[in-house]
């Protein structure tokens, strides 16, 4: 009987194998042999194809929706639908002149009415834009291709915020009262180089086809398909075996640990400096002892930056400066390089009264009570837990007891953004984040904005206020230099390394462009990329 | 018998009510705010008034007790609410993902249970034989391996090395090749896993059963092996196995989270995980309630099946 069972199993396996091979020879996977289809793998959590309800779907609608402004490869702001613009002397009224040859995917012309409608509608109906456009009073069409945007107060960074605004057709959306709940067929009609085709939720694919009528000409690929993965390892396998041509994640490249294995498989890479800072040690500067500059300095001397560059960034990084802002930004100023000096760290800690009074191996507060530094790290950032362990080891080597607390994204937001109850944490900054508020990361630092560092230092805030007001490039340069000096001197935040973005792609494709904000979903990619058959 | 059934019904009703109430509380006890998902990370911190506005629009600003009453009222009317993170009614999402889930979990549960039942019986009878010891050890090894890791191994070998299967996603369309290629690896992963622990369970039961005197009597009658196996070894061993298998059928409806992640399979397990990450209370509640109901229902069916298969329980 046993033998019969084993035999039966073997027969089933052999017949199944033969049948599968036979079927395999008969047909090929859809999309596999389609020429000029660019297939992009992503682990972004896309749930629905409503750009206002789904943050990550909103990102990939860059293919189907043109914006007013965009960013080029060097991080400079370029016009997209705006041909040129002027600002009134008081900085309150902006006049935008639009290109006259833009059309919607349903062949209707894109006019100033659509742009004015988009700004007013998004500001009123879509939560995220209420913040992006909070200083906009109203937008109105002056004529067919001129829009006047009136602000509540002078705001010279308006083009930057308009860079995230997707221009939407008035004739579709004017009848929609709840945009986050709108799922009709025309919800993704745009004016961009690709037309949205659909989201196959079962197979996890989102499809776009070329827009032959696009005002700048036909893109160089016929279709773009996003293949969704729920785990990075499977996506990397898919890249190696050619199931996808490249991979994408907003504001992130791949983890450097995958590079050697991908290299062996002949995968190529675009390596770009990151405009954001990959990982930082943040302090809540309103809490003791993190509000003590000397304490933060001692922490900076205890950290082993070389180890982070080697072990976490696998060498795809630079040692950071105390001035925090990476050298890729305009107006970068060379400040002191951060370095490890354990004896200096211990001397500073001793001098400010952090000593091991009870001989248990850990430093206590100056009043003799126990001290444990609670460091939060994000479980949604893959390298965060490894890095947190290294930071813990480094700080413990100078006698600071560390408690590492993992937090998923909502928990992290609750603690850091809502309660501001954090002591210290490890997290990154994005390109967009670095540009917020007065730019140069000020939004993250200033307690009046996102304020992860919770800083209300008058010296810092004065510089920020001047940066917000100035229109003079020379003055801005001076202010940004001063800002970096303040960052270096006060160390509100310690950059752990300045990383590079690693963008892998298969050798069958060439011509990918990379912009600092949206990576390979750059406008230049669609007209240069070539896909081999 | 009738009294027993009534008692069970009351017990199950109470259980369901408790589950529904706990399902309301658990998501709300988690730290984090559902509006974060809608506002995005860069906006949430700087626009507290938007957070409040969103909370109001989803009724999250109301006192907990009021929210609970509304939740109960809606649930008894079959209204599970609206998912914040998917921007769609919850029932629509469950209805969309349930068939994909069952496609992933039900066939392996059925096939794996049958293989486990049969293999466990074979290994449990005269368990001292070398071949059976090897088989049991093999099953123990498979059972000890986490299914997601087994899935990763299968992906690595069959997808990357042999290039026989795609690296993820559920089948779509009516193409048979597409269907087979997407279903095969998750099916094998889950089947092997379900078969391994069912066989170990059945092996233990049969080892005990085979010591019974009725087994000796059956053998001494000179019954053919197959008849002996089915009538005198499998049948009396069935009740504990049925209870366990029924639980597995119940859990099949809630998906197989880790395997769904490995194979990027959009099932209910993955949906539940996504709902946790987004703190999507209505979706989370609905999936919890749905999963719990199927498990309770499966338990009830198991009770009935045990009564049918075991005359002693009928008499009790």
For position B239, which CATH number holds? Answer: 1.10.3720.10
Residues of B in contact with A417 (CB under 8 A): 44-45
Q: Does B90 reach chain A within 8 Å, measured CB to CB?
A: no
pLDDT at residue A28, rounded to an integer: 44
pLDDT at residue B1, rounded to an integer: 61
Query: Is residue A197 one of the residues assigned to a domain?
Result: no
Task: Look at residue A39 and tell me whether its pLDDT is greater than 50.
Answer: yes
Single pTM value for the model: 0.85
Residue numbers of B between 206 and 235 with CB closer than 8 Å to A: 225-226, 229
Name the residue among A27, A201, A418 with its Cβ closest to that of B177.
A27
pLDDT at residue A20, rounded to an integer: 58
B30–A418 CB contact, under 8 Å: no
Residues B291 and B260 in one domain: yes
Min mean pLDDT across A205-209, A433-437, B82-86 is at B82-86
CA torsion sign for A237, A242, A244, A250 is positive
Residues B133 and B280 in one domain: yes
> A37 or B227: which carries more pLDDT confidence?
A37
- How far apart, in whole angstroms, are the C-alpha atoms of residue A417 and residue B176? 50
Residue range A164-183: average pLDDT? 93
Query: Is residue A397 one of the residues assigned to a domain?
Result: yes
- How far apart, in whole angstroms, are the C-alpha atoms of residue B290 and residue B87? 20
Query: Is residue B145 one of the residues assigned to a domain?
Result: yes
Range of the domain at A328: 279-500
B33–A414 CB contact, under 8 Å: yes
The percent of residues in chain A predicted with pLDDT above 70, rounded, is 93
What rounded mean pLDDT belongs to chain A? 91
Query: Is residue B83 one of the residues assigned to a domain?
Result: no
pLDDT at residue A524, rounded to an integer: 92
Instruction: Provide the ipTM.
Output: 0.77
- How far apart, in whole angstroms, are the C-alpha atoms of residue A121 and residue A95? 19
Number of domains within chain A? 1
Residue range A56-84: average pLDDT? 93
Q: What angle separates helix A293-302 from helix A342-351, to the nearest 10 degrees?
A: 160
Task: Look at residue A21 and tell me whether its pLDDT is greater than 60.
Answer: no
Range of the domain at B34: 2-76
CB contacts < 8 A, A to B, total 181
Query: Is residue A302 one of the residues assigned to a domain?
Result: yes
> A533 or B271: which carries more pLDDT confidence?
B271
A413–B43 CB contact, under 8 Å: no
Q: Does B134 reach chain A within 8 Å, measured CB to CB?
A: no
* Tens of pLDDT, residues A474-503: 999 999 999 999 999 999 999 999 999 999
Query: Is residue A378 one of the residues assigned to a domain?
Result: yes
Query: Is residue B84 one of the residues assigned to a domain?
Result: no
Min mean pLDDT across A428-442, B20-34, B64-78, B103-117 is at B20-34
Q: What is the CATH number of the domain that holds A413?
A: 3.10.105.10
Residues B102 and B53 in one domain: no
Band of residue A382 on the pLDDT scale cut at 50, 70, 90: confident
Q: Provide the β-strand partners of residue A355.
A: A364
Residue range A66-92: average pLDDT? 91
- How far apart, in whole angstroms, are the C-alpha atoms of residue A328 and residue A336? 17
Residues B31 and B94 in one domain: no
Residues B106 and B59 in one domain: no
The percent of residues in chain B predicted with pLDDT above 90, rounded, is 23
Residues B51 and B176 in one domain: no
Min mean pLDDT across A44-48, A226-230, A452-456, B310-314 is at B310-314
Last residue of a domain, one of B76, B103, B129: B76
Q: Does B309 reach chain A within 8 Å, measured CB to CB?
A: no
Q: What angle separates helix A384-396 from helix A293-302, to the nearest 10 degrees?
A: 110
Residues B94 and B72 in one domain: no
Tell me the range of A186-200, A378-392, A467-481, B226-240 where mean pLDDT is highest.
Answer: A186-200
pLDDT at residue B117, rounded to an integer: 92
* Tens of pLDDT, residues B250-287: 777 776 888 898 999 999 999 998 888 888 888 988 99
Query: Is residue A130 one of the residues assigned to a domain?
Result: no
Query: Is residue B215 one of the residues assigned to a domain?
Result: yes
Substitution target in A27, A50, A52, A127 with the highest count of B β-carbons within 10 Å is A127
Gap from B304 CA to chain A (nearest CA, Å):
31
* Tens of pLDDT, residues B205-223: 988 888 888 888 888 888 8
pLDDT at residue A238, rounded to an integer: 95
pLDDT at residue A26, rounded to an integer: 45
Residues B199 and B55 in one domain: no
Query: Is residue A440 one of the residues assigned to a domain?
Result: yes
Query: Is residue B81 one of the residues assigned to a domain?
Result: no
What is the DSSP track for A399-450? T-EEEEEEE-HHHHHIIIIII---SEEEE---HHHHHSTTSTTHHHHBTTSS
Number of domains within chain B? 2
Q: Compare all CA atoms of chain B with the CA of A43 and give the residue at the minimum distance.
A: B264
Residues B129 and B270 in one domain: yes
Residue range B78-107: average pLDDT? 89
Query: Is residue A95 one of the residues assigned to a domain?
Result: no
Query: Is residue B179 one of the residues assigned to a domain?
Result: yes
CB distance B98 to B265 below 8 Å: no
> B111 or B294: which carries more pLDDT confidence?
B111
B155–A237 CB contact, under 8 Å: yes
Substitution target in A56, A132, A234, A406 with the highest count of B β-carbons within 10 Å is A234
Q: Compare all CA atoms of chain A with the CA of B118 and give the residue at the minimum distance.
A: A5
pLDDT at residue A74, rounded to an integer: 85
Min mean pLDDT across A146-150, A280-284, B122-126 is at B122-126
Residues of B in contact with A234 (CB under 8 A): 152, 155, 167-168, 262-264
pLDDT at residue A445, rounded to an integer: 96
Q: Kindly give, in sequence order, each residue whose CB lies less than 8 Å from that of residue A301, ignoring residues fewer than 6 positions away.
A: A339, A340, A341, A342, A344, A345, A348
B263–A234 CB contact, under 8 Å: yes
B278–A410 CB contact, under 8 Å: yes
Residue A91 corresponds to which tokens in the numbers above?
A: 């900085």
pLDDT at residue A30, rounded to an integer: 47
Residue range A71-82: average pLDDT? 90
Which DSSP state fits A185? Answer: G
Residues B132 and B22 in one domain: no
Residue range A344-368: average pLDDT? 97
Residue range A402-407: average pLDDT? 96
Q: What is the helix (H) or strand (E) element at residue A295, kind and residue range? A: helix A293-302
Query: Is residue A328 one of the residues assigned to a domain?
Result: yes
Residues B39 and B185 in one domain: no
B180–A20 CB contact, under 8 Å: yes
Residues B113 and B170 in one domain: yes
């Amino acid at each position: 009987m046993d033998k019969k069972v084993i035999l039966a199993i073997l027969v089933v396996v052999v017949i199944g194998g033969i049948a599968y091979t036979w079927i395999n020879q008969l047909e090929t996977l859809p999309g596999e042999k389609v020429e000029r289809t660019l297939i992009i793998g992503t682990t972004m959590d896309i749930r629905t194809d409503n750009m206002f309800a789904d943050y990550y779907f909103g990102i990939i609608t860059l293919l189907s929706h043109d914006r007013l402004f965009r960013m080029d490869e060097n991080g400079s702001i370029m016009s997209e639908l705006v041909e040129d613009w002027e600002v009134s002397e008081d900085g309150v009224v902006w006049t935008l002149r639009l290109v006259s040859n833009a059309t919607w995917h349903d062949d209707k012309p894109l006019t100033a009415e659509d742009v004015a409608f988009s700004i007013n509608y998004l500001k009123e109906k879509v939560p995220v834009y209420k913040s992006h456009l909070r200083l906009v009073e109203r937008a109105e069409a002056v004529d067919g291709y001129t829009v006047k945007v009136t602000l509540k107060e002078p705001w010279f960074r308006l083009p930057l915020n308009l860079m995230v605004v997707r221009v939407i057709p008035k004739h579709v959306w004017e009848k929609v009262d709840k945009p986050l709940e709108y799922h009709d067929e025309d919800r993704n009609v745009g004016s961009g180089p690709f037309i949205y085709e659909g989201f196959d939720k079962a197979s996890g694919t989102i499809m776009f086809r070329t827009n032959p009528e696009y005002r700048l000409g036909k893109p160089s690929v016929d279709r773009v398909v996003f293949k969704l993965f729920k785990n990075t390892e499977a996506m990397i396998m898919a890249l190696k075996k050619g199931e996808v041509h490249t991979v994408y994640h907003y504001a992130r490249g791949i983890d450097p640990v995958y590079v050697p294995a991908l290299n062996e498989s002949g995968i190529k890479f675009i390596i770009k400096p990151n405009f954001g800072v990959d990982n930082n040690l943040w302090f809540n500067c309103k809490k003791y002892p993190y509000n003590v500059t000397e304490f933060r300095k001692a922490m900076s001397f205890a950290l082993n930056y070389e180890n982070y560059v080697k072990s976490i960034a696998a060498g795809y990084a630079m040692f950071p400066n105390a001035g925090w802002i990476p050298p890729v930004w305009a107006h970068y100023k060379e400040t002191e390089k951060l370095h490890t000096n354990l004896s200096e760290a211990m001397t500073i800690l001793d001098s400010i009264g952090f000593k091991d009074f009870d001989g248990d191996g850990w430093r206590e507060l100056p009043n003799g009570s126990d001290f444990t530094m609670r460091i939060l790290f994000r479980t949604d950032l893959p390298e965060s837990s490894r890095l947190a362990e290294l930071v813990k080891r480094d700080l413990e080597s100078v006698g600071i007891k560390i408690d590492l607390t993992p937090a998923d994204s909502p928990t992290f937001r609750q603690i850091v953004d809502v309660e501001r109850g954090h002591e210290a944490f490890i997290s990154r900054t994005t390109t967009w984040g670095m540009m917020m508020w007065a730019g140069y990361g000020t939004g993250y630092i200033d307690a009046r904005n996102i304020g992860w560092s919770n800083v209300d230092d008058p010296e810092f805030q004065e510089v920020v206020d001047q940066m917000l007001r100035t229109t003079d490039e020379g003055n801005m340069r001076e202010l940004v230099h001063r800002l970096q000096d303040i960052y270096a001197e006060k160390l509100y935040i310690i950059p752990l390394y300045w990383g590079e973005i690693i963008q892998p792609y298969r050798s069958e494709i060439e011509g990918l462009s990379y912009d600092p904000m949206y990576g390979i979903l750059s406008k230049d990619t669609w007209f240069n990329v070539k896909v081999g058959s | 018998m009738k009294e027993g059934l009534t008692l069970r019904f009351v017990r199950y009703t109470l259980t369901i009510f408790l589950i529904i109430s706990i399902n309301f509380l658990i998501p709300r006890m988690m730290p984090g705010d559902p509006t974060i998902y809608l506002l995005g990370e860069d906006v949430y911190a700087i626009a507290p008034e938007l957070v409040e506005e969103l909370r109001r629009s989803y009724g999250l600003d109301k006192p907990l007790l009021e929210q609970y009453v509304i939740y109960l009222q809606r649930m008894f009317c079959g209204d599970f609410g609206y998912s914040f993170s998917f921007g769609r009614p919850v029932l629509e999402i469950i209805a969309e993902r349930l068939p994909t889930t069952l496609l992933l979990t039900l066939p392996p549960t059925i096939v794996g249970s049958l293989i486990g039942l049969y293999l466990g019986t074979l290994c449990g009878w005269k368990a001292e034989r070398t071949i059976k010891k090897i088989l049991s050890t093999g099953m123990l090894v498979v059972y000890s391996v986490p299914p997601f890791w087994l899935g990763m191994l299968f992906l690595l070998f069959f997808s990357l090395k042999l290039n026989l299967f795609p690296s993820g996603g559920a089948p779509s369309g009516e193409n048979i090749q597409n269907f087979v290629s997407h279903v095969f690896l998750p099916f094998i992963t889950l089947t092997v896993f379900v078969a391994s622990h069912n066989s170990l369970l059945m092996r233990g039961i049969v080892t005990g059963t085979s010591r019974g005197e009725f087994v000796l009597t059956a053998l001494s009658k000179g019954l053919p092996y197959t008849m002996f196996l089915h009538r005198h070894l499998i049948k009396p061993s069935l009740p504990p196995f049925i209870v366990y298998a029924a639980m597995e059928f119940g859990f099949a409806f809630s998906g197989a989270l880790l395997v769904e992640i490995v194979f990027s399979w959009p099932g209910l397990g993955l949906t539940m995980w996504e709902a946790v990450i987004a703190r999507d209370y209505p979706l989370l509640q609905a999936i919890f309630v749905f999963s719990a109901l199927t498990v309770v229902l499966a338990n009830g069916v198991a009770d009935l099946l045990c009564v049918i298969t075991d005359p002693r329980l009928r008499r009790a």
